[in-house]
Chain A
């Protein structure tokens, strides 16, 4: 079904420790290579930790006007825009930025002042990125914990559906430094090894840094199924209204968002061919998600979590994992859940432990985060 408001995925990019293009990233994932490894960096943590991190990411070494966070966004948007046919300067194009903590690491190296306050503020980064490419519209910035990336895709889809814009360049990034790592350590949420999403003995998450970009358009020229033809079909957001740092006990609210996203996409549970779950590998998140997928009638659908490859990339997570899943659609290959070995018997799901060749039409991407937020999006052919 095609209609005037169909929102097509035109181009994408992932920048992670595994590579600087989506193709490089997908190829590494196909080889079961994880970016998560042990780091021993006293500047960040007093003890060794597992995470997916760049070792000194400086693509523009000579230009120190941009922070690492901004460099990641610029590099990701730049690669995605290349050969996309989308003009950043066009009045019909909007930039959407997703991040949880942006430039917060500046607190670790600079003295706090009104100047630094302004430098840390996300609108400053968004403006610098927008100016770099010459975007003529003011950028939209979303900071909504771990659902930021998926919420950015949903927001972009809606801005295009209403005809306010024709193209949306959606980019997300987060950088892991002492601020974020120490917080998750204090929460005792970090796994002492590579994380094990949905595994019976899962013991916490890994953090990861990275950036990703998805470019959306309603321009009919992107309808061509051989080259493009993949659409953002529908999305939804919900709140648990239960606890600010723990997920819902029932999963009812994520299930609500999933059902609403499917309704918005005009598909039912039987049309979802695979799920890219949030799967952080914390005991409570994965259990809540399993409950939600049962409630939504999706328990038999092949599912993966990519956290074992990338760790939890926070504001980039929803984007990175959606991009990988878009390429799973294109390459008829669902990637495995690294770290998953033994199912959790109380909530059986169809978790991909190995690569699954699959001619899929639609996938569901979900995320959940602090503040009780849940977001779900349906992407498909």
Chain B
């Protein structure tokens, strides 16, 4: 039942640096989180009006997913239901929760309230890419690569999914980190075997 799976792309956004497949592709180490996210969006010349209404968690996850799939993912090889996501973080949607809660003191903001759930970032990535498959958002103290590996293995080994984006997206105030992996059953030029160890290694290389 178990089939070989490969990490066919990786994207890390941390401390103002973006790594694609292990190589630094953009740096902005002098701005705050808002400035960094805005500069990434501009640098890659993304054009997606919905981006502007997102909270920081969604912006970070959306940008990481865009860079992850850019030039690396042949979406047309898959049905929408064959692609899904398994994500985790430590602080759920606390960054937006704090901002929403401030508005409850005057007039509660529905546009902030809708982002007070961690899985909304999955929804935003699904809307962008028309991914309709299985997905789950787990909350973990620190990135549990072994657990994520088993979840993704189950989905791909049982043909519930054929491709899966997995990893970590967390933001609270000025602390942020996104580490996403694209997992497929086909090897590619740059791919490495999908394993907890390989995910762990990328995660550690990206610093804390």
Interface residues in chain A, defined as those with a beta carbon under 8 Å from any beta carbon in chain B: 100-102, 104, 107-108, 112, 117, 120-123, 126-127, 138, 140-145, 151, 155, 158, 162, 164, 178-179, 182-187, 236-245, 253, 256, 260, 369-373
Q: Say yes or no: A138 contacts B144, CB within 8 Å.
A: yes
B107 to chain A, nearest CB (A): 8
A237 to chain B, nearest CB (A): 5
* B58: nearest chain-A partner, CB-CB: A244
C-alpha gap A243/B80 in the complex (Å): 15
Q: Say yes or no: A241 contacts B127, CB within 8 Å.
A: yes
The answer, among B94, B116, B119, for a CB contact under 8 Å with A117, is B94
Beta-carbon contacts under 8 Å, B134-163 to A = 134-141, 144, 147, 150-151, 154, 160
The answer, among B80, B100, B117, for a CB contact under 8 Å with A241, is B80
| Contact A117-B104, Cβ < 8 Å, known A240-B132, A241-B132 | no
The answer, among B81, B94, B141, for a CB contact under 8 Å with A120, is B94
Interface residues in chain B, defined as those with a beta carbon under 8 Å from any beta carbon in chain A: 80-81, 84, 90-92, 94, 97-98, 100-101, 104, 107-110, 113-114, 116-120, 122-124, 126-127, 129-141, 144, 147, 150-151, 154, 160, 172
Q: Say yes or no: B81 contacts A238, CB within 8 Å.
A: yes
Q: Say yes or no: B136 contacts A244, CB within 8 Å.
A: no
Q: Hey, which chain A residues are within 8 Å of B94, CB to CB?
A: 117, 120-121
Q: Say yes or no: A373 contacts B123, CB within 8 Å.
A: yes
Q: Hey, which chain B residues are within 8 Å of A138, CB to CB?
A: 144
How many residue pairs, one in A and one in B, have C-beta atoms under 8 Å apart?
Answer: 146
Q: Say yes or no: B131 contacts A239, CB within 8 Å.
A: yes
| Contact A143-B109, Cβ < 8 Å, known A120-B94, A179-B97 | no
* B173: nearest chain-A partner, CB-CB: A117
Q: Say yes or no: B120 contacts A237, CB within 8 Å.
A: no
Q: Say yes or no: B92 contacts A244, CB within 8 Å.
A: no
B103 to chain A, nearest CB (A): 8
Q: Hey, which chain B residues are within 8 Å of A187, CB to CB?
A: 110, 113-114
* A178: nearest chain-B partner, CB-CB: B104
| Contact A144-B119, Cβ < 8 Å, known A179-B97, A241-B132, A373-B135 | yes
Can you give 12 contacting A-B residue pairs, CB < 8 Å? A122-B139, A123-B140, A127-B141, A144-B136, A182-B108, A187-B114, A239-B123, A241-B127, A241-B129, A243-B127, A370-B119, A372-B126
Q: Say yes or no: A237 contacts B110, CB within 8 Å.
A: no
| Contact A107-B127, Cβ < 8 Å, known A123-B141, A238-B133, A241-B132 | no
* B118: nearest chain-A partner, CB-CB: A143
C-alpha gap A126/B90 in the complex (Å): 12
Q: Say yes or no: A122 contacts B92, CB within 8 Å.
A: yes
* B91: nearest chain-A partner, CB-CB: A121
The answer, among A100, A122, A186, A369, for a CB contact under 8 Å with B108, is A186
C-alpha gap A369/B120 in the complex (Å): 10
Of all A-B residue pairs in the complex, the 7 with the closest CB atoms, nearest first, are: A371-B123, A183-B113, A186-B108, A141-B139, A123-B141, A186-B110, A241-B126
Q: Say yes or no: A256 contacts B108, CB within 8 Å.
A: no
Q: Say yes or no: B132 contacts A256, CB within 8 Å.
A: yes
Q: Say yes or no: A371 contacts B117, CB within 8 Å.
A: yes
Q: Say yes or no: A242 contacts B127, CB within 8 Å.
A: yes
| Contact A144-B137, Cβ < 8 Å, known A123-B90, A371-B119 | yes
B55 to chain A, nearest CB (A): 11
The answer, among B114, B140, B151, B160, for a CB contact under 8 Å with A245, is B114
| Contact A100-B136, Cβ < 8 Å, known A121-B90, A122-B92, A256-B81 | no
Q: Say yes or no: A143 contacts B98, CB within 8 Å.
A: no
A interface SS class:
mixed
Q: Say yes or no: A107 contacts B98, CB within 8 Å.
A: yes
Q: Say yes or no: A142 contacts B127, CB within 8 Å.
A: no
* B87: nearest chain-A partner, CB-CB: A144
| Contact A239-B132, Cβ < 8 Å, known A244-B120, A370-B114 | yes
Q: Say yes or no: A241 contacts B131, CB within 8 Å.
A: yes
| Contact A253-B132, Cβ < 8 Å, known A122-B92, A143-B137, A371-B122 | yes
Q: Hey, which chain A residues are within 8 Å of B114, CB to CB?
A: 187, 244-245, 370
Q: Hey, which chain A residues are within 8 Å of B120, CB to CB?
A: 145, 244, 370-371
A187 to chain B, nearest CB (A): 5
Q: Hey, which chain A residues are within 8 Å of B132, CB to CB?
A: 238-241, 253, 256
Q: Say yes or no: A239 contacts B101, CB within 8 Å.
A: no
Q: Hey, which chain B residues are within 8 Å of A373, CB to CB?
A: 119, 122-123, 135
| Contact A143-B92, Cβ < 8 Å, known A123-B141, A238-B133 | yes
Q: Say yes or no: B140 contacts A238, CB within 8 Å.
A: no
Q: Say yes or no: A370 contacts B123, CB within 8 Å.
A: yes
A362 to chain B, nearest CB (A): 21
Q: Hey, which chain A residues are within 8 Å of B81, CB to CB?
A: 238, 256
A376 to chain B, nearest CB (A): 11
Q: Hey, which chain A residues are within 8 Å of B101, CB to CB?
A: 107-108, 179
Q: Say yes or no: B126 contacts A140, CB within 8 Å.
A: no
Q: Hey, which chain B residues are within 8 Å of A122, CB to CB?
A: 92, 139
B80 to chain A, nearest CB (A): 7
C-alpha gap A179/B104 in the complex (Å): 8
Q: Say yes or no: A185 contacts B92, CB within 8 Å.
A: no
* B115: nearest chain-A partner, CB-CB: A244
C-alpha gap A325/B137 in the complex (Å): 26
B124 to chain A, nearest CB (A): 7
Q: Hey, which chain A residues are within 8 Å of B150, CB to CB?
A: 162, 164
C-alpha gap A145/B116 in the complex (Å): 9
